[in-house]
Each structure stands twice: as structure tokens, then as C-alpha cells.
Amino acid sequence: MLKLMEARFPKPDFTSGYQYPDILHSVPNETLWNVVDIVLLVGMMMLVVWAAYRKRSRAVIYSISIVSVLYFGFFRSGCVCSVGSIQNVVMAAVSPDYHLPLYVLLLFLLPILFTLLYGRVFCAGVCPLGALQELVNIRNFRLARAVSATLSIIPWIYLAFTFLYAATRSQFLICRLDPFVGIFRLGGDVGMITFGVVLLIMSVFIGRPFCQWLCPYGALLSVFGSLSWKKLEITEKGCINCALCGKSCPVDAIRSPQVSRTREERLRGVNRIILYAILLPLLTLAGAMLLGSQSDALSLAHKDVYLYELLLQQEAQPEMEMPLEVETFHALGGNIEELKAEVADIRSDYKLYSRLAGALIGFVIGFKLLKLSLKRSRRTYEISTARCTMCGKCFNYCPQNLTSSKPRRPHSPQTP
């Protein structure tokens, strides 16, 4: 595809009537690459389903991780990704004038659809962020379950602030704080690249720290994963409670057998559930009120609000050095009264959306407390579909998967 090249500087005005030729340059066909992205996304998720449910093959899933890192990561520079698409979807939901590209909508919805059907297929190796961590993982040192459960609240807080800043058109928080995009692009913000390298070093010894304790899209998929139509099983031959699968899981998604409680303990558990059920709406309300009370401070993330506050400071202290933003505003003939009206509308939006974000955080904390109070009996090792990233490591460790499906022939006695 060819397009007219725009001149960066004005051309000399010849009086001879000379006509400049049109200069053409080629531009990449981004629509074609978007189609390739979606086809590969669906194809790779289908391969993961086949590898996990039919073959129970870790090797296939690992190979998909390599392809994902090379294509979605380094070749496509890690953007636009399904994780970042949350921001576009939020803007489209709250702003009627924002056009959501079909490509971005599919990136957001397709992994959710597959998760509802088969579990967190996207997290297995299709997501380049998770795949990069998976490829460097060697050992799995686990944190205490109480510590891990506490850290698992962070992705929801991240998601709540992502919603807040996207809904108010302040900034795309996920894109700004992506720890791996600088690695994929081989350049960028030094601080975020350093953070990404630290996460990769942690990934060598801890299974997917970003996926477990930071990823906002993973938090969403965990909800849909718990509702998945098909539940992944480690083996078709029946669990023998050898505990090898639980030790091999990098994200602690395999629950060990648990015996039934006595009547006294069960009664105590019922009382605990009732208490947390009462606390759930209270924590939701408290979260909404707490974050809502900070809406004016949070609104400083919006460039217009920040500029307005700088203008007020300059008026109050005219002797102070004029900030560049204020100088530019005056140079362009900005009207402070119009800006004041815009800021009032922005802060009104912040009051609403900060309350919703706070309510989400409070609800998640209350729900996790309620969930921790629930005790269910298990006779064998079971996969938690909400946490499982379907990496396939447990397949290789299960001795039931290593035994031949065909019955062995008995050895015939040797004749002397």
C-alpha cells in the first residue's frame, strides 16, 4: 500500500513553474496483521485445549509459549494485548463517543470465552507476559498460603484503578506500568525495564509472580475460570494421592485432600461464614466511601486538573517560577474559566468512578475472607480452575500419566 509522503519542512517557492513530483512511501498493512493476530490467538488457544484435555502434553504447551514470546512479544512488541484491552473496553462502556475497534474487542472477549469453556487457556502459554515468565522458571519456592492470598488482592486493586483512570480518560495505567513491554521492544523507560528484569529473576524461582499477584486481566479470568464448563483433570486414570502434582504446580493451584470436620468445628465454621457474609456489604460500602473521599486527590492524574491546580498556585504565589505547563497555557490563549468548568466535570466523574472502584476493592476483600472461611472435603488432589494457568507441569509429574495405557504382557518363565 502506497501513501503520499508529507513534507516536514516547507518547500522552496520556485518562480520557474517547477512542479515537485509526488513522493510515495509504503505503509504496513496493519489490518492484515490484526487478522493474523486474531487467527493465531484462536489457533494457539485451541492447541492448548487439545494439548491439555486430549494429549495432556506439557511439551506442546511449552512450545506454544515460545511462539507467543517470539510473535506476540518481540515481533508485535507486546501491544495491543488482551491485558491492555481492558482500558479500551472501559472507555467504550462509559464514553459513547469512543469507538472501540473490533480487533481490540476480540482480544478482550476471546480469552474470556475460552476460559468460560475450558479454563484459563489464554494464560497457559498464549499470553506473552505469562509465557515469558514460564520459559525462565526453574524452581518453585512457594509463599505461605495466607501471604499468597493477601497478595492476590493486588491485581484487583490494580484493576480498580485501571477502571478509574480509563473511565475518566486520565491515563492508560496498564500500558504505563507494563513491566515487560520495554523488554519486548528492547528499549523504553529504565525504571519499568528494571522492574521487568526483577520480575523475570523472581520467575526463575517463583512461578509467574506477575500473573499471580499483579495481572488485572488474570484477576478477571480467575472469575470466569471458576465458572468454566469443562474442568481440567490431571489424569484420567484416577488420583492415587502421591502429592507429586501439588508439589510441581508453580502457582499453587492444586488443592490437597482434606478430611471432613467434626460437628463442633463445622458449627464454628458456619458462624464464621455468617460473620463474613455480614461483613461483605459493609466492606464494600467502606471501600466506596474511603476511595470516594480521595477523589479530588486522585483527579490530579488528569492533565487538565493538574494544569488547573498549577494555575491556582501561580495566581496565589505570582513570585514563584512559572511552570512550563502554565506558560504554555497562557501562550496559547487558554481561558481559565473554561478550564475551571471542565475540571468541575472531571472531578464529578472522579467522585462517581472512585466510589465504584473503591466498592470493587472492598467487595473483593470481603469475598476473599468469605471464601477462606469455606471448607470443603476432598478425597483426592483437585485443580482449582480459578488459579490454574494450565501450564501442564502436573501432567509430567503424575505417575498415572507415565504408565502405559496398554496392559503389560506377563513374562513367560524361562525354560532351563
Indicate the domain borders of the chain.
30-238+384-400, 263-371
How far is residue 124's CA from residue 390's CA, in Å, rounded to a whole number? 5
State yes or no: pLDDT of 254 exceeds 60. yes
Model confidence over 161-204: pLDDT tens digits?
Answer: 999 999 999 999 999 999 999 999 998 889 999 999 999 999 99
Model confidence over 268-285: pLDDT tens digits?
Answer: 777 788 888 899 999 999
Q: Within 10 A of 117 (CB to CB), how many other CB atoms are there? A: 14
Model confidence over 40-79: pLDDT tens digits?
Answer: 999 999 999 999 999 999 999 999 999 999 999 999 988 7
> Highest mean pLDDT: which of 137-146, 230-239, 356-365?
356-365
Residue owning grid cell 455468617: 274
Beta strands in 254-332 (DSSP E): 254-255
How far is residue 130's CA from residue 126's CA, in Å, rounded to a whole number? 8
Q: What are phi and psi of 171, to 5 degrees?
A: -165, 160
State yes or no: pLDDT of 385 exceeds 70. yes
**At 132, which amino acid appears?**
L
pLDDT band for position 403 (cuts 50, 70, 90): low
Contact 388, 251 (CB under 8 A): yes
Model confidence over 119-131: pLDDT tens digits?
Answer: 999 999 999 999 9
pTM of the full predicted structure?
0.87
Helix (H, G, I), strand (E, B) or coil at 338: helix
Question: Mean pLDDT of all residues in the chain?
Answer: 88
Residue 78 backbone class (left: φ over 0; alpha: ψ -120 to 50; beta: rest): left
How far is residue 233's CA from residue 392's CA, in Å, rounded to a whole number? 11
- Rounded to an integer, the average pLDDT of 336-345 is 94
pLDDT of residue 330: 86
The C-alpha angle with vertex 378 and arms to 376 and 382, in degrees rounded to 5, equals 110
How far is residue 180's CA from residue 201's CA, in Å, rounded to a whole number? 13
Task: Give the three cell numbers for residue 37.
Answer: 493476530
- Rounded to an integer, the average pLDDT of 143-164 is 92
Is the sign of the CA dihedral 70, 109, 88, 217 positive or negative? negative
Break the chain down into helix, strand, coil percent, rounded to 5. Answer: 60, 5, 35
Residue owning grid cell 512479544: 73
Q: Which helix (H) or strand (E) holds 202?
A: helix 190-205
Q: What are phi and psi of 337, to 5 degrees?
A: -70, -40
How far CA 396 is from CA of 61, 235, 393, in Å, comes to 12, 10, 6
Model confidence over 204-243: pLDDT tens digits?
Answer: 999 999 999 999 999 999 999 999 999 998 888 888 899 8
User: To the nearest whole percent, how much of the chain has pLDDT over 90?
Assistant: 64
Helix (H, G, I), strand (E, B) or coil at 34: helix
Helices 263-292, 336-372: axis angle to 10 degrees equals 180
